[in-house]
Amino acid sequence: MKQRRELERKKLLSDPIMITTIVLLVTVLTVFILYPLAILLIDSIYGSNGISLDTFKRVMQMPNFRRAITNTLKIGFVVGILSTLIGLLFSYVEMYVKVGKIAGGLFNVVSMLPVVSPPFVLSLSMIMLFGRAGLITRFLLGIYDNSIYGYWGIVIVQTLTFFPVCYMMLKGLLKNIDPSLEEAVRDMGATRFKVFKDVTLPLLLPGLGNAFLVTFIESIADFANPMIIGGSYDTLATTIYLQITGAYDKEGASAMAVVLLMITLCMFIVQKYYLEKRTTQTLTGKASRVRMMIEDKSVVIPLTILCSLAAAFVVLMYICVPIGALFPTWGYKFTPFTFKWFSLIFTRYNGLKAFRDSFVLSLIASPITALISMIISYIIVKKNFKINGFIEAVSMLAMAVPGTVLGVGYIRGFSKGLFGTGILQFIYGNALILIIVFVVRSLPTGTRSGISALRQIDKSIEESAYDMGANTFKVFTSVTLPLIKDSFLSGLVTTFVRSITAISAIILLVTPQYLLITVQINEFAEKGSFSLACAFATILIIITYGSVLLMNFAIKNFGTSKYR
């Protein structure tokens, strides 16, 4: 091992391209991820009288902040539990129960919808269906004093938004459980419920905890849904936003952001470094044979009906968005159909500029993120350097940082330059800072995808290229990158979709010089102009779906999967 480390060190010192890449990478990660978070901590503990906790004490005495912490944790736990249970139900039905093609297709659509749509689409639908002027509550049920705003509105919307994340995570875990373990218990006379309770569920427990924590982090970091449907129900993300835009208290907002960051970081550390390891140790590996699907009608029919009703409700919520853009005034007149809202967003409300700005900025951020993600993945998987742990930890850190917290950190960190020196101040207030935020927010997803792909490539393939005299840059561009083309394309489109639908991280940073679609949707929704918000959201969903379909086409025709 000592000789190997010495050989790796000599290889590094003789490779100026790799040294330059690592130095640039560490600099970028430090400046654009660690520095803004460090500035938040400094702002919250350092004042005119030196280091003190006065800002934290002042913030903790605010009734709205104490209420926001309680509300945020309450919502996080409830949404985490509900999302995990619904995700478990859907994943179990798909992997263990023989369902029809229509039901299976419906489940796949539901699992994909929240990934490629703006984060607040379901809030718009919930208001239009169950609000005071909702189609169901007012016109079908005749309920006039109902209000979906507040706690239950947030819980329902976030659960429907985040349960597909749990579904996809648990689906992978269930797929890897060896069927022979469960079949052995069945052969001994155990019922299906006992098999699930005594065999399947214990194997899934670490994965269930992992899914819960991921959903919990997503829930407490969510800004868009509580902002639109929360009403007077405060959460930490919305309180931080209002503390800056309403109270103009940047120091107080920094302290609040640190509190939210500490909560998400603690959960992220438990999820990343404890539950993920336990999950890989619990599973038995690839299935030895095909699983025998459950065909008992007493099991199939109830579970299929239950999942189909939930999936149909989610689809109805999404269908409501384009329909809502076709009525003259939602809640008062439902005929005739009109396309005037689509016309108005382009003629009166600068829709063309909003779509152009969002599209161009997201398009610029996508290849940058995909390339940086692949470089980070390559260094982590293929190189054995001491700096690898730092690079991996910092690149994944953005996953645990709520968008609102990152936005506040960029305001405090770059409005006057690095540490108030004016260095890099030019990025603040223009398109460059938005592109950087898009890259930082999507970096963990691309990095994880790249790491998974690179671990499947035999190291001898690249070593052969080195033996023939190729340098690191040549090996990466000519050998490694073509082999992970699928992951690169996937990261490219994922970044584009995440960037064009982002709001929490950029709502504090966007200036009137640039119009972004998500900010426009949020603005119209807050004003009650739901038809205009739906028109914007409909076009945005079409753009994101088109991007995903294009990615699938590219991977199918130009990817590497079919040659493996």
> pLDDT (tens digit, 9 = 90+) per residue, 466-498?
667 776 677 777 777 777 776 777 777 778 888
104 and 201 in a single domain? The answer is yes
Residues in a beta bridge with 294: 97
CATH number at residue 441: 1.10.3720.10
189 and 309 in a single domain? The answer is yes
Determine which of 184-193, 500-509, 534-543 has the lowest per-residue pLDDT on average: 184-193
303 and 226 in a single domain? The answer is yes
pLDDT tier, 27 (very low <50, low <70, confident <90, very high otherwise): very high
Determine which of 94-108, 117-131, 151-165, 411-425 has the lowest per-residue pLDDT on average: 94-108
Is pLDDT of 51 > 80? no
Residue 407's CB: how many other CB atoms inside 10 A? Answer: 26
b or e along 115-133 (b: 16 or more beta carbons within 10 Å of the residue's beta carbon)? Answer: ebbbbbbbbbbbbbbbbeb
Residue 280 located in a structural domain: yes
pLDDT tier, 126 (very low <50, low <70, confident <90, very high otherwise): confident
305 and 366 in a single domain? The answer is no
Residue pLDDT, tens place only, 352-403: 888 899 989 998 998 899 889 888 888 888 777 778 888 888 888 877 788 8
The count of structural domains within the chain is 2
176 and 67 in a single domain? The answer is yes
Torsion of CA 81, 160, 272, 38, to 10 degrees: -110
User: What range does the domain containing 162 cover?
Assistant: 60-324
pLDDT tier, 5 (very low <50, low <70, confident <90, very high otherwise): low
pLDDT tier, 31 (very low <50, low <70, confident <90, very high otherwise): very high
Which of 32-36, 95-99, 503-507 tops mean pLDDT? Answer: 32-36
Stretch 204-220: mean pLDDT, rounded?
Answer: 83
Residue 28 located in a structural domain: no
121 and 239 in a single domain? The answer is yes
Residue 198 located in a structural domain: yes
Residue 287 located in a structural domain: yes
Percent of the chain with pLDDT over 90: 8
Q: DSSP for 439-465?
A: HHHHHHHHHHHHHHHHTTS-HHHHHHH
The answer to whether residues 534 and 321 touch, using CB atoms and an 8 Å cutoff, is: yes
Of 93, 84, 97, 90, nearest to 111 by C-alpha is: 90
Amino acid at 180: S
SS3 171: helix
CA distance 478 to 501: 33
The answer to whether residues 68 and 265 touch, using CB atoms and an 8 Å cutoff, is: no
Residue 99's CB: how many other CB atoms inside 10 A? Answer: 19
The answer to whether residues 50 and 220 touch, using CB atoms and an 8 Å cutoff, is: no
The secondary structure of residue 200, as a DSSP letter, is I
pLDDT tier, 281 (very low <50, low <70, confident <90, very high otherwise): very low
307 and 362 in a single domain? The answer is no
Is pLDDT of 248 > 60? yes
315 and 349 in a single domain? The answer is no
Q: What is the pTM of this model?
A: 0.81
368 and 259 in a single domain? The answer is no
**Higher-scoring residue by pLDDT: 76, 134:** 76
- Domain ends where: 256, 291, 324? 324
**Higher-scoring residue by pLDDT: 404, 71:** 71
Residue 12 located in a structural domain: no
Q: What is the pLDDT of residue 79?
A: 93
The answer to whether residues 442 and 365 touch, using CB atoms and an 8 Å cutoff, is: yes
478 and 557 in a single domain? The answer is yes
How big is the CA angle at 27 (ends 479 and 448), to the nearest 5 degrees? 50
Q: DSSP for 321-384?
A: HHHHTTSSBTTTB--S---HHHHHHHHTS-HHHHHHHHHHHHHHHHHHHHHHHHHHHHHHHH--
- Domain ends where: 298, 324, 350? 324
Is pLDDT of 11 > 70? no
**Higher-scoring residue by pLDDT: 220, 246:** 220
CA distance 492 to 398: 18
364 and 278 in a single domain? The answer is no
Residue 35 located in a structural domain: no
CA distances (Å), 497 to each of 106, 430, 545, in order?
A: 22, 21, 9
Give me the chain's average pLDDT, please: 79
Is pLDDT of 564 > 60? no
Q: What is the pLDDT of residue 155?
A: 92
Stretch 218-223: mean pLDDT, rounded?
Answer: 86
Q: Helical H runs in 113-150?
A: 121-130
What tokens does 431 get? 């398109």
Residue 529 located in a structural domain: yes
CA distance 98 to 71: 40
Is pLDDT of 238 > 80? yes
Q: What is the pLDDT of residue 333?
A: 54
Residue pLDDT, tens place only, 70-86: 999 999 999 999 999 99
Residue pLDDT, tens place only, 145-200: 667 888 888 999 999 888 888 887 788 777 767 677 777 777 777 777 787 777 77
Stretch 10-24: mean pLDDT, rounded?
Answer: 77
Residue 334 located in a structural domain: no
Residue pLDDT, tens place only, 430-473: 889 999 999 998 888 788 777 767 776 666 676 677 667 776 67
264 and 366 in a single domain? The answer is no
Determine which of 14-18, 69-73, 231-235 has the lowest per-residue pLDDT on average: 14-18
pLDDT tier, 563 (very low <50, low <70, confident <90, very high otherwise): very low
- Domain ends where: 324, 358, 388? 324
Residue pLDDT, tens place only, 293-306: 777 787 788 888 88
